[in-house]
Amino acid sequence: MNMHPPSLPAVGVVGATGYTGLEVLRLLRRHAGVQVRFATSEGSAGEASALPGLSLVSSATVSLEGIELVFLCLPHGKALEWAERAHAADVRVVDLTADHRPGSGRQEGWVYGMVDLAPERIAGARRVANPGCYPTGVQVAIHPLRTRGMISDGAPVVINAASGVTGAGRTPKRELLFAEVASDYRAYALGNAHRHLLEMREGLPGLPLVFQPHLLPLARGILETMYLPMRDAVDAASVRAVWREVFEDSATVSVTDGSPTLAEVARTDRLVLGAADNAGIPGLVTVIASFDNLGKGAAGQAVQNMNLMLGLDPVLGLRC
C-alpha cells in the first residue's frame, strides 16, 4: 500500500530488517516528501516491514523503474552489486555501508555525506557515502577547529568513544547477548585498530589520532570524549564560540555549556557538543559529542543526505 500521493519521489530501502534499515523506514514513515516503493529482505520476504502497509520483498523481484533513490542498509562489503545496479539505472544512492567511504579505496565518484560540514557538495549528488557513526561525532567536533588552525600539530588527539550494542549490527553474536553485556563496560579494537580510523584520517588528514572504542551496556547511543591539544592556549569558551558560529543555522547540531548526555539525544537525530578546560593543563581542551548511533550516526544523516539530494527541506522527517 502506498501511503503518499504518486507524484512524490519514489525511494527504496535495501536491507530493511537490520537496525539501520529499520531506522530508515521509521523515519520515512513520517516523511511527507517521498513515497517508499519497496523494502527488501532476503530472509523475511513476504512479511510486514516497519512501514505500515508495505511488505518486504526479495532483491530479485525489485524493479528500479520510476525510483529516484535507494538506501543501501546492507552488511559492510555487500553494497557493491546494488550500487552498480542503481548506477546503471541512473538511480541516486545513499550507501550506509563502509563500502564507499573515504579510506575504502572505492570512494572515487562518491560524495562523502557529512551533512553538517559540506552540504553544498551533497545537494544534487547522485551517489553519497553515508558517514560512519564514530567518525560523525569526531569530525563534526574537530573539523571546524582544525580548519581555523586552533589545534596544535604533532601532539596526538586522544578519543575515547563508547557505543551501544546496536552499533555491532543485528546478526546474533554470543558476546553481545544481554547476559554478556549487562552490568559490563569493555574496550574493544585495542591498539588503534578500529576500521573507522581510516575514515577519520581521511577527514582529518595529518592529525595524529588515538581512537579507543568501548561497548556500552545500552541498546543505542554514542558518547565520544576527545582530548585536544590547542594552539596558543585556546580555551573551551573559544571552542564553543567557533561551534556556535559554524552550526548557528543547524537544526541537528547544538552546543551546550555543560556536559552532553546520552539521555538528551536518544532516539533523535541530534548531536550535542560540549567543551571544558583542564585544571592545571592550559591548552588541553576536553571535547564531548553525544548522539544516537542509529539516528544522527546512521539513518538520520542518511535521510538528511536524501533530502539534500532531492532538493527537499534538509530536516524533513527528522526528529530534531
- The answer to whether residues 149 and 285 belong to one domain is yes
| Domain contains 46 | yes
| Domain contains 319 | no
- The answer to whether residues 279 and 301 belong to one domain is no
| Domain contains 57 | yes
Domain, as residue range, for 173:
133-293
List b or e across 218-229, with b for residues whose CB sees 16 or more CB atoms inside 10 angstroms.
bebbbbbbbbbb
Domain harbouring 112, CATH code = 3.40.50.720
- The answer to whether residues 279 and 169 belong to one domain is yes
- The answer to whether residues 271 and 182 belong to one domain is yes
- The answer to whether residues 275 and 157 belong to one domain is yes
Domain harbouring 213, CATH code = 3.30.360.10
- The answer to whether residues 127 and 141 belong to one domain is no
- The answer to whether residues 114 and 176 belong to one domain is no
Give pLDDT, residue 191: 93
The single residue listed with the C-alpha cell 591548552 is 283
Give pLDDT, residue 240: 98
Give pLDDT, residue 154: 85
- The answer to whether residues 194 and 159 belong to one domain is yes
Nearest of 109, 86, 84, 112 to residue 98 by alpha carbon? 112
pLDDT tens per residue, range 261-301: 999 999 999 999 999 999 999 899 999 999 999 999 999 99
- The answer to whether residues 30 and 169 belong to one domain is no
| Domain contains 305 | yes
List b or e across 189-211, with b for residues whose CB sees 16 or more CB atoms inside 10 angstroms.
eeeeebebbbbbbbbbeebebeb
Number of domains in the chain: 2
192, 200 in Cβ contact below 8 A?
A: no
| Domain contains 24 | yes
| Domain contains 223 | yes
- The answer to whether residues 196 and 270 belong to one domain is yes
| Domain contains 284 | yes
Give pLDDT, residue 1: 39
- The answer to whether residues 276 and 258 belong to one domain is yes
> How far does CA 202 lie from the centroid of its chain?
16
Task: Give the span between the Cα atoms of 36 and 13, in whole angstroms.
Answer: 8
The single residue listed with the C-alpha cell 541498546 is 219
- The answer to whether residues 120 and 159 belong to one domain is no
Q: Which residues are catalytic?
A: 133
Low-confidence ranges of the chain (pLDDT < 50): 1-3
Q: What is each CA distance from 75 to 18, 21, 47, 95, in whole angstroms?
A: 9, 11, 20, 11
- Amino acid in the structure at residue 163: S
Which residues, including other chains, have CB under 8 Å from residue 200's CB and lie 6 or more apart? 134, 135, 138, 139, 209, 211
| Domain contains 231 | yes
